[in-house]
Amino acid sequence: MLWTLLALVFVVAILFQLLRKVVQPKIVEYDFLDSNVSSSGHHFVTIATDVHGQYCSLCENGVQTGMQCEYCGVLVDTVLCLRLLAGTMSCKTIPHLTDNDITHHWIRGNLPSSSVCFSCDEMCGDGVGLIDYRCSLCQITVHADCKFSIGERCNLGANRDFIIPPDCINWHKGGYRRKRQLIIDAISMPKKESFSSWTPLFVIVNPKSGGAEGAAVLKTFRYFLHPVQVINIEQVSVGSALRWTDTHPEIDYLVLVAGGDGTVSLILNSLEVLRKRPPVAVLPLGTGNDLSRVLGWGSGHSGEIDFGQVCSSLRESKIVKLDRWTVEITHRRRFGVRPKNKHLRMINYISIGVDACVTYGTLLIVL
């Protein structure tokens, strides 16, 4: 009986290995698509969704597993559809201009739930197949019949002051072959009056923070911002992504760090080498975010990110100075050998002990 069981296990193991060899080419191809940025500007990642009512942006077949562009949201169900779509439709990262003005980048169908038409204020996107349109730049949704009534020009929406227009930058692909990140080569300020308070937002994300929350944060902000504004610290260094700031000191910008206290400290160290240091906000991920809590950004974040609420919080925030220390530890010589000195960085954002007593006592005297 034992030998029969062992033989059965051996046969199953062989069949499993043969099955892996048969399926492996398809897995490799999909894995390559996870990091491929095509010449059309798209960045497709494999997805599996249990949400009904999702359709291929080319053939209109229903999609449960397929590939989606993280930047503009187009969805395809096969590699063939991906290649055909990439050859006929560019991403929002490629500027579309009319008389030097940015035009809407329309994505047909797969609208967010409870979408409202920008033109007539009626519900839109309901039905089977690719129904109605969404602009991947300003995020407005419209009926197919109302699309031509709102004009071609796009103002990038209510939060345009945080978004880099696609015609204001030149970029290249940095990082490893399977870990590509868009990096700014050159940038210019928008000339339109509607961008008078323009302060581009750069979101620096640690994808490992908070379990899978970091990856979801990357996807969300790439959806609303220009992809060059969303930096994955596992793919590119902060110094490389923000090197353009040394040659463009006239441009003010903000940084939002998505991660825990350790990530915030790491990013602050990286920003020190830049000539122009930006204000830094925090989107806390995971647990134990004491620094974020003290600065008023909360103790943690979970669930979907409300991009509009994040922008409102940034506008309402105020800049405060942070007490950061450089601690140098010098070791004594022992047995003729001196260990290497250590250089540490410390953030002093809460205190106990003598200095706290002095502060508390001073407050009592003032009161």
Express as a percent the part of the chain with pLDDT over 70. Answer: 83
The pLDDT of residue 182 is 84
Tokens 């797969």 belong to 110
The residues near 336 (Cβ < 8 Å, ≥ 6 apart) are none
Is the pLDDT at 3 greater than 70? The verdict is no
Domains annotated for the chain, with CATH where assigned, are: 28-93 (3.30.60), 95-154 (3.30.60.20), 161-323 (3.40.50), 324-366 (no CATH)
What is the pLDDT, as a whole number, of residue 105? 95
Decide if 246 contacts 286 (C-beta within 8 A): no
Q: H-helix or E-strand containing 255?
A: strand 254-259
- Whether 91 has a pLDDT exceeding 80, the answer reads yes
What pLDDT shows up at residue 198?
92
Where do we find the tokens 């970029």? 171
Higher pLDDT, 352 or 193: 193
Q: What pLDDT, on a 0 to 100 scale, did the predictor assign at position 22? A: 44
What's the whole-model pTM score?
0.81
Q: Distance between CA 225 and CA 188 in Å, rounded?
A: 16
Q: What is the pLDDT of residue 1?
A: 60
Interior/surface letters 245-277, b for 16+ CB within 10 angstroms, e for the rest: beeeeebebbbbbbbbbebbbbbbebbeeeeee
pLDDT at 348: 80
3 state SS of 139: coil
Query: Which tens digits make up the pLDDT trace of 132-166?
Result: 999 999 999 999 999 999 989 999 999 999 999 99
pLDDT value of residue 24? 39
Of 58, 61, 27, 33, nearest in space to 46 by CA: 33
pLDDT at position 327 over 60: yes
Amino acid at 2: L
Q: Which of 113-117, 169-173, 244-248, 269-273 has the lowest mean pLDDT?
A: 169-173
A 10 A CB-CB count for 195 gives: 18
Please provide the average confidence, as pLDDT, over all residues in the chain. Answer: 83
